[in-house]
Structure 1
Amino acid sequence: MAAHTSTPHYDIVVVGAGIIGLAHAYHAHRRGLRVAVVEQNDGVVGASVQNFGHACITAQSGAAREYALAGRRHWLDLARAAGFWAAQPGTWCVARRDDELAVMAEFAAERGDDEVRLLGADEFRSAVPVPDAIGGMYLPNDLQVEPRAAAPGIARWLESEGVDFHWRTAALGFEPGVVRTSRGTLAAEHVVVAVGCDVDRLFPEPADDLLRCRLHMVKARIPLAQPLPGPLFTAWSLVRYSGFENLPSTPALAERLRRETPDYVAMDLHQMYTPQPDGTVLIGDTHDRAVSAIPFQPEAGFEALLTETRTLFGVDDVEVLERWQGMYTSGSGDEFLLTEPIDRVHIVTVTTGIGMTTSMGLGESTIARITESVTA
């Protein structure tokens, strides 16, 4: 742990060692800048390790899509450099009803064969063990990392590369070129504040409409007929991601889900699966938004995930290994909060659950923009 015996000066100080903060530290380091990371915990423990580890590139739109595409190669480069598991399995999306196939067909027509491949029932079922699949689609460009290893591995590698990490150190206040912490003061040309859900505690006004989104998450062993070939989407994914939002058939699918499963809509279910290197599967998730995150998890959320898992794969039992409450920042408008409340102090927050997907491209964009003055 770095000691603050004087006032160290850096080109970039990043507050927050989640994947958004680490991506900014990585890109600043790549530019040869002197970088420090301030983190209140003694390691990476937040949304970056609580999630699916899925870089869902293809299903994004707008700025999120640009960041996701730009960041893809950096994920692969970092996996090699830092030594964590990463794969390029793409994403599979199952269709069990005709309205789901309709959305997929429209998406494929919009994006083209390089991004979306439509699959018939036999072809899909030969790859993915869903007995009642009537077809599906394959998104070949999406990536996957092991969520509990990726961000911690990046932090260790950056530290070995000379980035200063100030663990168990809280940011208390900011001035132009200054971060006041619980262990002293750091000086910087620019400060990036990437603290996720806690941004409202440091900057309440720009974060006033942000909420904490709590998730039901499960790690399990599923007795599948064959292993999942990669992350698996369902109908619920088609009504969640922005890339599908404006397709002609999406509203009808959303209405059918509301009509048939109002309880699931009320818990904002998203049924998806990411297989892990050890053979387990991460299952999620539900979404509950509030200013404060209460610690109590209704069992109904876990039961919904497990019931739908048994139904989807046609299995009688699912061995639950772990249950937990994931959490990320949620906003009602743009997918990103990017603002400069104090001169040279930059808030960077992803306000929906696409932090892993967009982090590397977002970090590259931010650092390129703010460091023009550092390198000029």
Structure 2
Amino acid sequence: MSIATAPTPARSSLPGTRADLVVVGAGIVGLAHAVEAVRRGLSVTIVERDLRPVGASVRNFGHCCVTAQRGELLDLARRSRTGWLDAAAKAGLWAPEAGALVVARSATELAVLEELRDERGTDAVRMRTRDEVADTLGRAADGRDDLAGGAMLPADLRVNPREAAPKLAAWLAAQPGVHLAWGTNVVGVESGTVHTSRGPVHGDQILLCVGHDLDRLRPAEAEAHGIQRCRLSMARIAAPAGFRSDAAVLTATSMLRYDGFTAMPSAAALREEVSGHSAELLGIGANVMFTRLPDGTVLVGDSHAYDTTEIPFQEEATSRLLLREAARVLGVGPGEVRVTERWQGVYASSPRGPLLVRDLAPGVRALTVTSGIGMTLSFGLAAATFDGALRTTV
């Protein structure tokens, strides 16, 4: 499956361009801000060093993980959901309100889901029997002693990560007052001006939405926030027979990564339980989950490894471990999991928190999601930015 391409810009028209807003970075966070700016009647110039989106925005599961967030992030995720649906209608994106199925394979896992249901309510967390879970996975529950039940999270959304950012960029390019400068490297930023490899671009407001590459443009701010690159082991497989659900599928390792789950009383017991039977999964920072694309293939992942500069190599043992665990959840043999594509995902991460929001100069702001929820928060962050409701981080 190829990534949809974006048109090469009319490069000679870039120098001296002026807009109400200049967005540096055509990843999903930058594009969401551009879409929100257009909705509010602003002119926008988007500057992107590559010729199409190729970073974190196209390498992920395409899962807008709303319900598993907590506190301020939950509010942003809910608002982002509305933004995604609006953008999908405008740009013709595949964005089914398919929800997420969290599979519970033990009483402890089920307890975490029940506690979340008790906190959020039965509309937000809908418990499922083992038979219902098995049916969603495309397998009968008979003979499966590893299913205790599960929960459907209906607020979660799905998008196709291979097409979402390119289609949003194409839609933006067709709007009056929007200019996209692909293949244009930013070399410096100051109030009112973005200096690029093709000349200056002027804007009343400037947003740096460059993700983990903030350290290449503003290294002091990236270092102060402790930004690292998180690399992920990802694969695409042919859908096992019977699996037809558009819902994202999450597991116990997912419950150990998202704040909505980890705040539950049984979360500590769950971590101890998983550590006892699957320490190797915790050792690679696994979030075993999978999502089905519109063509029927399935994205499977992922592991997490952190460094300031990511290494380009992937260990096959990590990939095998993730695929084996996904096969167990699906109730199929390892031989039924046929890999068609592998890649390394990457996103910004920081131990200091999930967001970097920093004003660098009058009218210049850096905004980076420093956790794996950029797709989830993107449109909520954009709305909060323009409302003046997004708090800066120190």
Compute the TM-score of the two structures, normalised by the length of structure 1: 0.95
Which amino acid counterpart does residue 148 of structure 1 have in structure 2?
R
Residues 161/254 of structure 1: CA separation in 2 closer, same or farther (3 Å cut):
same
Q: Which residue of 2 aligns with 1:357?
A: 376
Task: Find the partner of 1:31 among 40, 49, 55.
Answer: 40
Offset of residue 310 of structure 1? 2.2
Aligned counterparts, 1:164-183, within 5 A: 164-183=179-198
Q: Which residue of 2 aligns with 1:325?
A: 344
Aligned counterparts, 1:183-198, within 5 A: 183-198=198-213
Offset of residue 229 of structure 1? 4.4
3-state DSSP of counterpart to 1:118: strand
Conserved? CA contact 1:4–1:183, under 8 Å: no
Task: Find the partner of 1:71 among 63, 74, 80.
Answer: 80
Which amino acid counterpart does residue 68 of structure 1 have in structure 2?
A
Could you give the per-residue CA deviations for residues 165-221 of structure 1, whole angstroms, max 9, x where no partner exists? Answer: 010001110111111000000111110000011001111122111100000001001
CA distance in 2 between partners of 1:263 and 1:180 (Å): 47
Q: Which residue of 1 aligns with 2:153?
A: 139
Offset of residue 261 of structure 1? 2.0
CA distance in 1 between partners of 2:96 and 2:259 (Å): 24
Task: Find the partner of 1:337 among 336, 356, 360.
Answer: 356
Conserved? CA contact 1:190–1:370, under 8 Å: no
Conserved? CA contact 2:137–2:330, under 8 Å: no
CA distance in 1 between partners of 2:95 and 2:320 (Å): 30
Offset of residue 244 of structure 1? 1.2
- Greater CA drift, 314-323 or 212-221: 314-323
Conserved? CA contact 2:59–2:162, under 8 Å: yes
Conserved? CA contact 1:4–1:185, under 8 Å: no
Conserved? CA contact 2:137–2:245, under 8 Å: yes
Offset of residue 155 of structure 1? 0.3
Q: Does 1:98 align with 2:98?
A: no
Identity over aligned pairs, percent: 43
Offset of residue 260 of structure 1? 2.2
3-state DSSP of counterpart to 2:359: strand
Offset of residue 263 of structure 1? 1.8
Conserved? CA contact 1:236–1:271, under 8 Å: yes
Q: Which residue of 2 aligns with 1:374?
A: none
CA distance in 1 between partners of 2:339 and 2:168 (Å): 29
CA distance in 2 between partners of 1:210 and 1:22 (Å): 22
Q: RMSD of the alignment, in Å?
A: 1.5
Q: Which residue of 1 aligns with 2:298?
A: 281
3-state DSSP of counterpart to 2:310: coil
Offset of residue 6 of structure 1? 4.6
Q: Which residue of 2 aligns with 1:233?
A: 250
- Greater CA drift, 3-12 or 291-300: 3-12
Could you give the per-residue CA deviations for residues 52-90 of structure 1, whole angstroms, max 9, x where no partner exists? Answer: 001111100122211110121221121121112110111
3-state DSSP of counterpart to 1:258: helix
CA distance in 2 between partners of 1:5 and 1:13 (Å): 12
CA distance in 1 between partners of 2:164 and 2:253 (Å): 26
CA distance in 2 between partners of 1:312 and 1:121 (Å): 12
Q: Which residue of 2 aligns with 1:261?
A: 278
CA distance in 1 between partners of 2:116 and 2:14 (Å): 57
Task: Find the partner of 2:317 among 295, 300, 318.
Answer: 300
Q: Does 1:14 align with 2:23?
A: yes
- Unmatched runs of 5 consecutive residues or more in structure 1: 372-376
